[in-house]
Every structure is written in structure tokens, then in C-alpha cells.
């Protein structure tokens, strides 16, 4: 049984993961980190640096400001870590990359298997379509989400941009009275209610439109992917891994 520490255990995703892990045959949550330690089946600390429990892997579903303590703890203890948090700054992403040169690190903007299959599709079709189709991305999330555009929207946009040889650029939202430029990739963020997560990629051409959409019906999809990531990274050598590795392993 893989012993997991869950950082952000009392957040929305933390609660879903805690419940789902109870039915896991491979993973057991042995410790958590959060400000609220009530109603848990395992010990909870207000700082990961105070944790004395022996763990095999760390799963982080919290906020970017927890990165420093997570890096310090995982490096000192030589424990693999899975980052599911979004909204990291470029400097923080660089630190995650540096950490992966010393321990196994898993980082993905979205833990859904479905989203990552969509992402793989975009690698193949974007380079075929971009000359004749305008590309727009629309993402929708609940009104408590703090980062915009979502990490998933940026994941999809970066995949599209990296697969195209021309110098494409992002337009986040659209305002003013100028025409759309051919090399734009539009990214639009909608926040409202309790929308779990919708992502739509639109290829709009002359006389036809291709739409690829993923809808998260429940947070279970992210919990399932997170637990799969923990299973995947356990026992791996140092390096930077992501959901592509999990998806490709399943194919």
C-alpha cells in the first residue's frame, strides 16, 4: 500500500480525494496538511514541515503559496511529489523544474484522463488546421476559482501553439474595435456558479466549424487522475512527469 500525504486535504478536491482513497486498493492517506484539521481519518498538520509521519508520496491540491514548503520537505525527505495545483508563476514553474532534477516530480495542469486525451488530439490536428481555421478556447469554472485563464486552458493553448510552426500569439479576452488577426489564439475565461470545469476548443473556418469540448461532470475525474499519478510516480527515478506519461502507459 502506497502511503500518501495530501496537502490541501480539506479543500474541495482534498475532500473528494480523501473519500475516494478509502476505496483504493493501492493508496492510503496517512497524513494531511491544511488549516482545518477536523473530521479526518488521519493526522493533519498546519504545515508540512511539522509532519513526522512516514510517507511514500506527496499529493498537492492547494495553492501556489504552498510551493516553498513543499519543495523543502520533499527534497529533504527525498519523497516523490505530485503537483495538481494551478496558477503557478513562471518563477515557481522554474523551481518545480529544478526540483525534478533531484527527485521524481509529477506536474499537470489538469488531472483528468479525458482532458489529456483531448490535449494529445490537439497536438496532431492543430498543425493541419491552423492555416484555414481561427482558433479560440473557451473555459468555464465556478465563481471561487482564483486564476484565469485556467491552467487547463493554458495547457491546451500551449499545446496548440507548440505544434504550429508559425509565430502564433495569445489574446486573452477580446475588447475594442479591431479585427481578429489570423495568428491569434483566443482564450476566454468565464466564472460563475458552481461550474466544475468546461473547456472548448473551436476551429472556425469558412463554411465549417470544428469544436472539441470536455466537460467535467464531477470532481471525481480529477481525484481518479490524481490517484493514478501517485501510483505512477511511486518508485520512479528523478525527473519531471505529467499526465501524458499516464495516458501513454494506458494505451
∠ at Cα 114 (12, 157), nearest 5°? 90
Res 40: pLDDT: 86
Residue 108 assigned as binding residue: yes
Res 251: pLDDT: 56
- pLDDT tens for 54-77 read 999 999 999 999 999 999 999 999
Question: Are 133 and 176 contacting, i.e. CB atoms less than 8 angstroms apart?
Answer: no
- Residues of the chain scoring pLDDT < 70: 37-38, 250-251
Res 248: pLDDT: 79
> One fold for both 2-111+219-250 and 113-215?
no
Res 247: pLDDT: 83
Active site residues: 141, 145
Q: For 2-111+219-250, CATH number? A: 3.40.50.720
Residue 107 assigned as binding residue: no
Residue 8 assigned as binding residue: yes
What are the grid coordinates assigned to 220, written together? 471525481
Q: Taking the domains of the chain in order of start, what are their residue ranges? A: 2-111+219-250, 113-215
Question: Are 4 and 21 contacting, i.e. CB atoms less than 8 angstroms apart?
Answer: yes
> Which superfamily does CATH assign the domain made up of 113-215 to?
Dihydrodipicolinate Reductase; domain 2 (3.30.360.10)
Question: Phi, psi (5° rounding) for residue 65?
Answer: -70, -5
Res 244: pLDDT: 87
Amino acid at each position: 500500500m502506497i502511503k500518501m500525504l495530501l496537502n490541501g486535504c480539506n479543500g474541495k478536491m482534498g475532500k473528494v480525494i480523501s473519500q475516494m482513497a478509502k476505496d483504493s486498493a493501492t493508496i492510503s492517506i496517512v497524513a494531511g496538511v491544511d488549516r482545518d484539521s477536523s473530521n479526518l481519518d488521519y493526522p493533519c498538520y498546519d504545515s508540512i514541515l511539522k509532519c513526522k509521519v512516514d510517507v511514500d508520496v506527496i499529493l498537492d491540491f492547494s495553492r501556489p503559496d504552498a510551493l516553498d514548503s513543499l519543495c523543502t520537505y520533499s527534497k529533504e525527505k527525498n519523497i516523490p511529489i505530485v503537483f495538481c495545483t494551478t496558477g503557478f508563476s513562471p518563477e515557481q514553474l522554474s523551481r518545480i523544474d529544478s526540483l525534478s532534477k533531484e527527485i521524481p516530480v509529477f506536474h499537470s495542469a489538469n488531472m483528468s484522463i479525458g482532458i489529456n486525451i483531448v490535449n494529445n488530439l490537439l497536438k496532431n490536428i492543430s498543425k493541419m488546421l491552423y492555416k484555414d481555421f481561427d482558433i479560440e478556447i473557451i473555459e468555464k469554472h465556478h465563481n471561487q476559482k482564483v486564476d484565469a485563464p485556467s491552467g487547463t486552458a493554458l495547457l491546451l493553448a500551449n499545446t496548440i501553439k507548440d505544434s504550429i510552426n508559425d509565430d502564433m500569439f495569445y489574446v486573452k479576452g477580446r475588447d475594442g474595435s479591431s479585427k481578429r488577426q489570423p495568428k491569434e489564439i483566443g482564450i476566454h475565461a468565464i466564472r460563475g456558479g458552481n461550474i466544475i470545469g468546461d473547456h472548448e476548443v473551436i476551429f472556425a473556418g469558412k463554411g465549417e466549424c470544428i469544436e472539441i469540448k470536455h466537460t467535467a461532470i464531477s470532481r471525481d475525474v480529477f481525484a481518479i487522475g490524481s490517484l493514478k499519478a501517485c501510483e505512477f510516480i511511486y518508485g520512479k527515478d528523478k525527473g519531471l512527469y505529467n499526465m501524458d506519461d499516464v495516458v501513454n502507459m494506458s494505451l
